[in-house]
Chains A and B, each alone.
Chain A
Amino acid sequence: MAETLAYWQALNRAHDVEMAGDDSVFVLGEDVGLYGGSYRVTEGLHARYGEWRVRDTPISENSFAGLGVGAAMIGLRPVVEIMTVNFALLAIDAIVNMAAKIPFMSGGQFAMPLVLRMPGGVGKQLAAQHSQRLEHTLMNVPGLRIAVPATPQDAWWQLRQAIASDDCIVLLEHVMLFGEKGEVDLHAAPPPMHQAAIRRPGKDLTIIAYSRMANLAQEAAEILAGEGIDAEVIDLRSLRPIDWALCVDSVRKTRHLLIAEEDCRFAGAGAEIAATLTERCFDVLAAAPLRLGGLDLPTPFNAALEIASIPQIADIVEAARRLCRPPGKE
């Protein structure tokens, strides 16, 4: 039985059911309580669960993320909201040196049932310090698992799975997705948290994307279909681990690989994906994989330049054409 929910509502409902079902779950972050969260994700929870379970914090990212680590060490299930991914840079010590390493360096004595939620991405003229995508930074950290829900359904499933997990999960949300609506089946059994999804099957090329880019890739695929190019669109849903098996199968079938990411292309997620899939599919690839990514530039404030700084649907379409119909082979 599906309901139409906005992405933020799906996250809100996920918090609510997990908090109702397990009193070791608590939420903390800036303005998550009385204010209801900058993107409304924690709306109503303070009234329902009280201030000890929905804690408004001072602006002290490193220490309140670290507080989450300490609480997780004694078995609580903290859900830390970092208002935006940009501020996670101030908590990188707690995330990278503590949360990611304690389970290992304690010789496995401690679990880390901690969720770190943080929206990122290019919004609408939020300027250089508020438009970052930090997946590349976090992907490089053993000990973290990274989920990147692109739809309300995945937001609902993956946040619930993250809270239930005994590992540290980073949930990377996207500022442009909070208002996006979609059908959410609240009762369906979720796929494994880190399993990729085929959004559209196709035979001519594989487009791999994640988060908001997965939605753009799907729209691009519809345009391509009108031109006789049948694209298979994969939404990774998780950046660590990556569901390689599904990607390899797809690339082996289509023999063409295009990767679209919003993060800066240089040393981004796409570089890892292209390298690994080249290693595994080199023998069948008909062309070198193509990567679309953000410019190697801080995000400009000016609206037109901001748009030009990250891939758009037309860029994906154009790149797919180039890949499938190289000039001279028409």
Chain B
Amino acid sequence: MEREHVRSMVRDLLLARRFEERAGQAYSEGEFGGFLHLYSGEEAVAVGVLHAAEPSDYVVSTYREHVHALVKGVPPGRVMAELYGRRDGCSGGMGGSMHLFDRERRFMGGYAIVGETFPIAIGIAYGIMLRRLPEAVICFFGEGAANQGTFHESLNMAALWRLPVLFVCENNRYQIGTEIHRQAAIPDIHTRACAYGMPGERADGMDVLAVHEVAQRMLHAIRSGQGPQLLELDTYRFRGHSMADAGAYRSRTEVESYKQAGPLQRVEQKLVAPMDRLNGSPAALDEASLQQLRDEVEQIVEAAVAFAEASPAPTLTDAWDAFHAPGRHETLIRAEQKHG
């Protein structure tokens, strides 16, 4: 793989971590409320998969989607402004952390009802097929969502009509406080794909290069008309389910052991290691360039916060405009806009 590409993936891993930690800080300082689900620990999944995506591919995600949006190219300032509920947020301050949307960049939304990403994804894929385009849909979901009816219903339809979807399971082993063995009869989610005659694979979701490699191969096959596939990535969230969750159901030892093997640690071990540890192949990065990237993302994230803070709050008129905006050509009787 090209040195530049590795560098840009590492940059996105660092950006993702810094963005999330900074968002968590702003939340703790009371800058905004609601539910905030951070992605720390899972970065290699979004970065590896989305670096294998084309700009013409679509992404559908969950409520834990800030990083998917960032890597898909939504400007950090617009993501942060949405978390702050501001007018310049990528959803105009109407959606918040769980509902990031960016139509232009084909970021098709964050959905907060578990299991909603599947039908949306097959709908987009159906449209792609109808128009015979060489595009794919990337559908992210947590392992807990694989027990929702929509998972089975949508996989069946996707396989039946050979729809171009890559289903990406972010298996972080927990559905809020319920560990996977207490909620899934078959905890190896990728094996469920065979029930629908769909290829299913599993990879190490802490290793960005491994994720990228498998996602690229699968997406290539999907775009060339070979039908849907399912990719399960083993990962772990370092923080609570949301800011409201102290995470008492996981032992400190468990959390620490995953942290030791986290995606950034992997990068440092694998990509920045001295020559001898890499059997003669040159390291993609050295410590100095890594530090340079860290400084770069620090600036990007601080600029995003400044952008969010400077953005005005939306007004009630903005809310009504958002409600009535998209492509309503027919004349509606305007609803009463005030209660009472």
Contact = CB atoms under 8 A, between A and B. Distances in A.
Given A125-B32, A130-B98, 15 more contacts: A31-B178, A58-B175, A61-B148, A87-B113, A126-B34, A127-B34, A127-B112, A129-B112, A292-B340, A293-B339, A297-B320, A302-B314, A303-B32, A315-B340, A319-B340
Interface stretch (B12-20, B89-97, B251-259): B89-97
Contact of B313 (A59, A126, A304): A304
B291 interface: no
Contact of B177 (A31, A87, A293, A308): A31
A90 B111 CA distance: 14
By size class, the interface of chain B is 35 or more
B272 to A, nearest CB: 39
In the A-B complex, the 5 residue pairs with the smallest Cβ-Cβ separation, listed nearest first, are A301-B96, A35-B177, A125-B34, A58-B147, A302-B85
B288 interface: no
A184 to B, nearest CB: 26
Given A129-B112, A303-B32, A62 B149 contact: yes
Contacts of B113: 86-87, 89-90, 129
Contacts of B314: 300, 302, 305
A34 B177 contact: yes
A301 B98 CA distance: 10
A56 B315 CA distance: 42
Interface SS, B side = loop
Contacts of A87: 113-114
A58 B174 CA distance: 11
Interface of A: 30-31, 34-35, 38, 56-63, 86-87, 89-90, 124-130, 265-266, 290-298, 300-305, 308-309, 311, 315, 318-319
A305 B319 CA distance: 8
A138 B145 CA distance: 26
Contacts of A130: 35, 98, 112
B316 A305 contact: yes
Contacts of A303: 32-33, 85
Given A34-B178, A303-B85, A59 B93 contact: no
B145 A59 contact: yes
A83 to B, nearest CB: 9
Nearest to A125: B34
Nearest to A310: B339
A112 B218 CA distance: 49
Nearest to A64: B147
A83 B265 CA distance: 36
